[in-house]
């Protein structure tokens, strides 16, 4: 029998009306704003706050292969398993970007029998959140260019505008553009560029805001560029924070959907995990904690990226502590870190596992550095052999690491019961959670702490540009911000090819970016892509829609 | 007492749940896809087709002042009046663009006590239709640039790409841009530009499509540019019509809202009335005709623009005949056409009315040229004097023109009863409807017919570029398309300053554009703005959102 695609499986699932899911989740009918039959937005003002909030389980991963290790799938499957075990659980995920859908990448709604549904809608426009963010971002660009065109009262230096336009599209031709051409009535010519929408600071802000008021305050603090005498210019100077927040008035409401097994899911926000913090919205996570005893959530890439930012940026801003951390690992990723080439990952290779396990080991150690006890979810793939699985289990035993084989892709929640039980065990235990650094520490020391403690590096080098920026940022009063590292997800180093668990390496900070609205300083290592391109044969070529409106060829 | 703003009035209105409005309109619960409590999309596959379809009442206008003459307001008010008189009526309107909201322009949802609601949502993202159109448009741009970057198998001449990017934004700096800068990995440099989304051919296609299948066929026929040997390149050549139609799978569903008095309203699509055909979607109009006995709808600008295109493009494509045409006139517009300066329009001036009435007269005559009997709606403004109103009424009497004073802005449906009765009178009468030209007539003759018959001009001059294009278009097999004139809305001529009813003038066709997907040839006269700019003090400066999420300062 031919293997079913994720969309096939999704199409075979019987969805429950979203009003039933809401009722199950304890969401009042008047808090529910339906978007079609199976999606809704939640009016969070109508959600009862509870004193004993739900516990947060964070799902992270080892350093992934380019295909990804199924973090979303395990997150969904774990929540279904907990649901299965009669726990009051919700899952809180990021929204996928639309642009990459047309390129190579599959959706970001899980896979197999561990998906959030309706996957075709969640992967396309969903409830319009990303479009609203695109609009707010580009309205700000229009306001900036209009301000300069109309006399430039604020004295903005058009060579020092940091704010870029965005589209939710993979479109390399927009990375570097010149705008304002065509003469004096068509604006002022300047260099600009487009990022993909998930890279917008507005996206990061939406995900870190505690409500409309906080959203507006954070937007007002965005630094859009500098004056000719190098003073920061903010959105507040342009007086458009009200208009921009208004554009986002619905996007800020968390979206309710369901897993394939009917577990309530909040899917909301999706900032890049490289130049932004890579976590779903605080509002969604906190709303879930008011509704459920256990909230399963994830953060982009490995413990070195998303999880580090989840703890030091998101959880700190929200004021909660995670109660458990799951580290997703796969046999194929461990083999890759053991030096096996991409094309040979399907072949049994225990020796390579032995070489590559150090990568997983460092991720496990990283979690312990926050005072948390990790659970490794070994996410089963069809080519894994018994010997290989046995090797990883033995490693876990000898290293005193909790590990569960998960088969949620194939079996749904039933395939995650072992993992769920391990997680339940951990969240009963007392933990001694701590952040990695104090906010008042100087910026360069915060960066060094991350590099040495989490990456395992020995030294941080700052480019002369970054050195200069450190001084400027401190002079601007920006020392207290947490750090948002921008680094390849494939390696603990800033070189994607250095696999395993390298030691004694240097990280070079090429440049800093001040996201004073979102409230973090981005430290850029290597070259970070903020606008992807399409491949020679885009996935779009296989996409279609039936005469009665059903999506075809979407994953 | 201070006068209430449109948003104030809207906020004071008590909205009915959209499910109640749907029930009233005869829409099955399973055809209703709610978007929040007061908006919905309609699954048209679930609507029963009826043999005796509803009659169509078109609302057009005389040549407007820059502030507009209240065409949407009268359209809404007329439908409320018919509802009031116990007729089974629906109103079908265009969706407003988001971009201009931040500039000067008010919303496009009517005004005073004749509005469609919730106006703040309809004027912002509504149900995501324009965002989907933006996405489809820009995905096509990305596919084109990617095709060229990846080897350009189709041999597309990057100097002859007609397809532009779009944003739903007033952003003059994007009118002329250079994309693809930054070296060999960043695409191929070329000139490009952004239009506002309503100017996208995708918007026109969505509004002319009869369903998903037709949508996809029309998209496949879009000419995106030309090869180096000047052959047209279509979307079908790129093989992405399926993906683009998929992006639009929800946008194609008509949106249900309500008027302030609870009349069901379908608000769907909004192509520019200058370079596109300026009418709401055929699907919405036809769905309304399956649900109601009378459908009130409007088209952009005057009888020379929107109404001409409504009849010769939209109604022809849809295969229906309008049963009545309302021409909205105002005392201030008539005075303006009589030579009164903008700042003096509030002063009584019967002599100017006498001079300016020729403009209205020509619009009335234009409607009769289609074999239809017009009803003039004299839309009351607070500064109109009794003498002025008396003058216009006398003119109507002596010229045998049906006229009704409408006070729907102030009084809602009650203020439109006289108009409704005149309209009801007309739709009972037999009419002898005919189109203006036959599709097989040569392109230049079709243009001449419009200019001489509708505008009152004496001659059409084609630029040498347009002459060349006429030959090329015929060689490409595009002679059979109807014409979509792009002309200023302020004058029957191509010069916005020539008011009244000029005679014996020439129209110059500067350039043609082949919209082979939408199925019309645009004939450009004068300079047509397809990407507006923001004013020195944008309306955005006064916009805000309350802590509990309510829009403020929106009109």
A142:B102 CB<8 A:
yes
B546:A212 CB<8 A:
yes
Nearest-by-Cβ selection for A139 from B134, B169, B212: B169
In a domain, B52, yes or no: no
In a domain, A304, yes or no: yes
DSSP H or E run through A460: strand A459-462
In a domain, B551, yes or no: no
Nearest-by-Cβ selection for A246 from B45, B146, B543: B543
pTM of structure = 0.96
Chain B 32-51, residues with CB within 8 Å of chain A CB atoms: 33-37, 41, 45
User: In 10 A of CB B272, how many CB atoms?
Assistant: 23
* Rounded CA separation A39/A253 (Å): 12
The DSSP line for A508-550 is: EE-EEEEETTTTEEEEE-S---SS----SS-GGGG-EE-TTS-
The verdict on A208 and A112 lying in the same domain is no
pLDDT at A343: 93
pLDDT at B11: 85
Half-sphere exposure of B345 (CA within 13 A, CB side): 19
Grade residue A105 by pLDDT with cuts at 50, 70 and 90. Answer: low
Q: Where are the beta strands (DSSP E) in A180-230?
A: 190-192, 194-196, 223-227
Task: State the DSSP code for A103.
Answer: S
Question: Is A505 an active-site residue?
Answer: no
Residues of B forming the active site: 71, 73, 94, 105, 273, 301, 381, 409
In a domain, B485, yes or no: yes
The verdict on A64 and A32 lying in the same domain is yes
Residue A329 scores a pLDDT above 80: yes
* Interval A182-238: pLDDT, tens: 999 999 999 999 999 999 999 999 999 999 999 999 999 999 999 999 999 999 999
The verdict on B124 and B180 lying in the same domain is no
Domain end residue (candidates: B394, B427, B460): B427
* Rounded CA separation B223/A50 (Å): 58
B509 within 8 A of B525, measured Cβ to Cβ: yes
* Rounded CA separation B315/B307 (Å): 10
* Rounded CA separation A394/A397 (Å): 5
* Rounded CA separation A224/B515 (Å): 39
The verdict on A347 and A366 lying in the same domain is yes
pLDDT at B1: 43
B461 within 8 A of B507, measured Cβ to Cβ: yes
Nearest-by-Cβ selection for B172 from A149, A172, A545: A149
Task: State the DSSP code for B326.
Answer: E
The verdict on A163 and A152 lying in the same domain is yes
The verdict on A189 and A285 lying in the same domain is no
Question: Is A301 an active-site residue?
Answer: yes
Mean predicted confidence (pLDDT) in B212-223 = 98
Mean predicted confidence (pLDDT) in B104-118 = 85
In a domain, B472, yes or no: yes
In a domain, A432, yes or no: no
Average pLDDT for chain A: 95
A243:B544 CB<8 A:
yes
* Interval B433-453: pLDDT, tens: 999 999 999 999 999 999 999
The verdict on B361 and B256 lying in the same domain is yes
A251 within 8 A of A132, measured Cβ to Cβ: yes
Q: Is B41 exposed, middle or buried (0-12, 13-18, 19+ CB in 10 A)?
A: buried
Give bridge partners of residue B328 from the DSSP assignment: B61, B377
pLDDT at B107: 67
Q: Residue A155 contacts by C-beta under 8 Å, 6 or more apart in sequence?
A: A227, A228, A229
Domain end residue (candidates: A207, A229, A247): A247
* Rounded CA separation A498/A496 (Å): 6
Residue A1 scores a pLDDT above 50: no
CATH number of the CATH domain containing A419: 3.40.50.300
Average pLDDT for chain B: 95
Cα-based angle A257, A258, A261 (whole degrees, multiple of 5): 175
In a domain, B355, yes or no: yes
pLDDT at B106: 61
| A240–chain B Cβ distance below 8 A for any pair | yes
* Interval A361-404: pLDDT, tens: 999 999 999 999 999 999 999 999 999 999 999 999 999 999 99
In terms of phi and psi (left: phi > 0; alpha: psi -120 to 50; beta: otherwise), the region of B471 is: alpha
B142:A247 CB<8 A:
no
B374: its two tokens: 């017009």
B172: its two tokens: 């003059």
Catalytic residue among A60, A73, A75, A330: A73
Grade residue A8 by pLDDT with cuts at 50, 70 and 90. Answer: confident
* Rounded CA separation B456/B458 (Å): 7
Range name among B254-258, B275-279, B473-477 with the lowest pLDDT average = B275-279
| B171–chain A Cβ distance below 8 A for any pair | yes
Torsion of CA A482, A487, A490, A495, to 10 degrees: -140
* Interval A10-37: pLDDT, tens: 888 899 999 999 999 999 999 999 999 9
Nearest CA in chain A to B100: A139
The verdict on A350 and A411 lying in the same domain is yes
Percentage of residues in chain A with pLDDT exceeding 90? 92
The verdict on A447 and A419 lying in the same domain is no
pLDDT at A106: 61
For helices B129-149 and A129-149, the axis angle rounded to 10 degrees is 80
Nearest CA in chain B to A174: B179
| B477–chain A Cβ distance below 8 A for any pair | no
Mutation target vs A (from B142, B184, B531; most A CBs, 10 A cutoff): B142
B230 within 8 A of B199, measured Cβ to Cβ: no
The verdict on A289 and A418 lying in the same domain is yes
The verdict on B264 and B219 lying in the same domain is no
Catalytic residue among A41, A105, A253, A335: A105
CATH number of the CATH domain containing A485: 3.10.410.10
Mean predicted confidence (pLDDT) in A425-431 = 92
* Interval A154-196: pLDDT, tens: 999 999 999 999 999 999 999 999 999 999 999 999 999 999 9
In this complex, how many residue pairs, one in chain A and one in chain B, have their CB atoms less than 8 Å apart? 243
Query: What's chain B's length in residues?
Result: 555
Task: State the DSSP code for B329.
Answer: E
* Interval B153-201: pLDDT, tens: 999 999 999 999 999 999 999 999 999 999 999 999 999 999 999 999 9
Is B72 annotated as belonging to a binding site?
A: yes
- Distance (Å) from the C-alpha of residue B212 to the closest C-alpha of chain A? 5
Determine the structural domain holding residue A447 and report its residue range.
443-525
In a domain, B489, yes or no: yes
- Distance (Å) from the C-alpha of residue A284 to the closest C-alpha of chain B? 16
Residue B274 scores a pLDDT above 90: no
Q: φ, ψ for residue B500 (rounded to 5)? A: 75, -130
Residues of chain A found within 8 Å of residue B172, distances taken between Cβ atoms: 145-146, 149, 180, 185-187
* Rounded CA separation B481/B441 (Å): 9
Percentage of residues in chain B with pLDDT exceeding 90? 92
Residue B2 scores a pLDDT above 60: no
3-state secondary structure of A179: strand
Question: Is A86 an active-site residue?
Answer: no
For helices B201-208 and B129-149, the axis angle rounded to 10 degrees is 130
* Interval B364-413: pLDDT, tens: 999 999 999 999 999 999 999 999 999 999 999 999 999 999 999 999 99
Nearest CA in chain B to A36: B33
Domain end residue (candidates: A195, A228, A247): A247
Q: Where are the beta strands (DSSP E) in B110-168?
A: 110-111, 114-117, 156-161, 165-167
* Interval B41-61: pLDDT, tens: 999 999 999 999 999 999 999
3-state secondary structure of B436: coil
Is A193 annotated as belonging to a binding site?
A: no
The verdict on A335 and A420 lying in the same domain is yes
A546: its two tokens: 């039936």
Residue B536 scores a pLDDT above 80: yes
Nearest CA in chain B to A236: B541
* Interval A498-525: pLDDT, tens: 999 999 999 999 999 999 999 999 999 9
Nearest-by-Cβ selection for B549 from A175, A212, A541: A212
Give bridge partners of residue B325 from the DSSP assignment: B58, B374
Q: How many domains does chain A have?
A: 3
CATH number of the CATH domain containing A241: 3.30.1510.10
The DSSP line for B71-107 is: HHHHHHHHHHHHHHTT--EEEEEPPPPSGGGGSS---
């Amino acid at each position: 029998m031919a293997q079913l695609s994720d969309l096939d499986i999704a199409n075979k699932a019987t969805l429950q009306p979203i009003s039933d899911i809401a009722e199950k989740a304890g969401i009042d009918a008047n808090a529910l704003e339906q978007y079609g039959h199976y999606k809704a937005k939640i009016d969070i003002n109508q959600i009862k706050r509870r004193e004993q909030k739900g516990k947060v389980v964070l799902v992270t991963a080892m350093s992934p292969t380019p295909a990804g290790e199924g973090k979303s799938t395990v997150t969904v499957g774990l929540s279904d398993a907990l649901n299965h075990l009669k726990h009051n659980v919700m899952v809180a995920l990021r929204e996928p970007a639309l642009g990459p859908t047309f390129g190579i990448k599959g959706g970001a709604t899980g896979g197999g029998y561990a998906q959030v549904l309706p996957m075709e809608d969640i992967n396309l426009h969903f409830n319009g959140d990303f479009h609203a963010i695109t609009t707010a971002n580009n309205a700000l660009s229009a306001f900036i260019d209009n301000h300069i065109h109309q006399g430039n009262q604020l004295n903005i230096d058009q060579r020092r505008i940091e704010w870029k336009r965005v589209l939710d599209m993979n479109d390399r031709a927009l990375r570097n553009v010149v705008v304002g051409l065509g003469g004096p009535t068509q604006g002022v010519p300047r260099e600009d560029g487009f990022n993909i929408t998930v890279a917008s600071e507005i996206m990061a802000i939406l995900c870190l805001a505690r409500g409309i008021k906080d959203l507006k305050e954070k937007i007002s603090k965005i630094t859009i560029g500098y004056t000719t005498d190098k003073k920061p210019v903010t959105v507040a100077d342009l007086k458009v924070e009200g208009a921009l927040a208004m554009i986002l008035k619905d996007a800020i409401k968390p979206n309710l959907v369901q897993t394939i097994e009917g577990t309530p899911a909040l899917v909301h926000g999706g900032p890049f995990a490289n130049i932004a913090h890579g976590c779903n919205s605080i509002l969604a996570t906190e709303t879930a904690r008011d509704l459920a005893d256990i909230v399963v959530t994830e953060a982009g890439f490995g413990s070195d990226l998303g999880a580090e930012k989840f703890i030091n940026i998101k959880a700190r801003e929200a004021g909660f502590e995670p109660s458990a951390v799951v580290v997703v690992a796969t046999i194929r990723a461990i083999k890759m870190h053991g030096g096996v080439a991409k094309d040979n990952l399907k072949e049994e290779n225990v020796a390579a596992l032995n070489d590559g396990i150090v990568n997983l080991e460092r991720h496990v150690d990283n979690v312990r550095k926050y005072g948390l006890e990790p659970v490794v979810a070994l996410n089963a793939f069809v080519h894994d052999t018994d010997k290989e699985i046995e090797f990883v289990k033995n490693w876990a035993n000898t290293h005193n690491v909790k590990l569960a084989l998960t088969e949620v892709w194939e079996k749904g929640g039933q395939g995650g019961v072992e993992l769920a039980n391990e997680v339940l065990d951990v969240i009963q235990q007392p933990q001694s959670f701590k952040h990695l650094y104090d906010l008042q520490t100087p910026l360069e020391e915060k960066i060094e702490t991350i590099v040495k403690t989490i990456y395992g590096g020995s030294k941080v080098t700052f480019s002369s540009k970054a050195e200069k920026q450190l001084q400027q940022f401190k002079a601007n009063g920006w020392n207290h911000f947490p750090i948002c590292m921008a680094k390849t997800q494939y390696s603990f180093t800033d070189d994607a090819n250095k696999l395993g668990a390298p030691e004694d390496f240097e990280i070079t900070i090429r440049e800093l970016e001040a996201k004073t609205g979102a409230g973090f300083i981005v430290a850029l290592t290597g070259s970070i892509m903020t606008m992807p391109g399409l491949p020679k044969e885009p996935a779009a070529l296989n996409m279609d829609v039936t005469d009665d409106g059903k999506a075809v060829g979407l994953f």
